[in-house]
Homo-oligomer: A and B are copies of this chain.
Amino acid sequence: MLESALTFSHTLLKQSIVLGDTVIDATVGNGGDTVLLAKLVGKQGKVYGFDVQEQALNTTKEKLLFTGLSEQVHLFQQGHETVGKVLGENEQISGAIFNLGYLPKSDKTVITKGETTLAALEALLPHLRKGALILLVVYYGHEGGEEEKEAVLTFAAQLPQTNYHVLQYNFINQKNQPPFLLAIEKK
């Protein structure tokens, strides 16, 4: 009944993104979110997807091809901290999603890091249209995860409340460090 952090991130995407929107998949990974975003924005919309791993992008390209969703998706084999260079100066986005940690069933030493995650967040903020959401599903049970978690939480908690709502959605009685969700909404 209570949705997991991952499922709740999808619920929020479905509630906030409409046909024709421009959105960001900051960590393409196995392409699950990319496919969802591509469906939500439709052929009139745009999804910019980022991942440093070639394997991830190849898997995702195949998924998009099979589902007929390639047209609206632009994939970049580069870190999400470069998002500011990909977006046009005045380009507005309605959503962005990050899955922080490592790519499941892949090289566990390739992880997202606080420094580049914060750089991506800083670059995204000026592009948010009113009501836009940045969602971060934060996995932190792996080596290096705790540092990134702290960096992201500190950054998010300091965003001015006049411009942003920042929600943490977190299961607090579990020993196995399940991911939590951070949602940043532009007012």
Identify the A interface with B (CB < 8 A).
1-2, 12, 15-16, 131, 133, 153, 156-161, 164-175, 183, 185
Contacts and interface: CB of A to CB of B under 8 A. Distances in A.
A1 B171 contact: no
A15 B1 CA distance: 8
Contacts of A164: 173
Q: Please classify the interface of chain A as helix (H, G, I), strand (E, B), loop, or mixed, using the class held by over half of its residues.
A: mixed
A2 B185 contact: yes
Contacts of A168: 168-172
A175 B161 contact: yes
Nearest to A16: B1
B185 A159 contact: no
Contacts of A159: 173
A111 B183 CA distance: 31
B183 A2 contact: yes
Contact of A173 (B16, B131, B165): B165
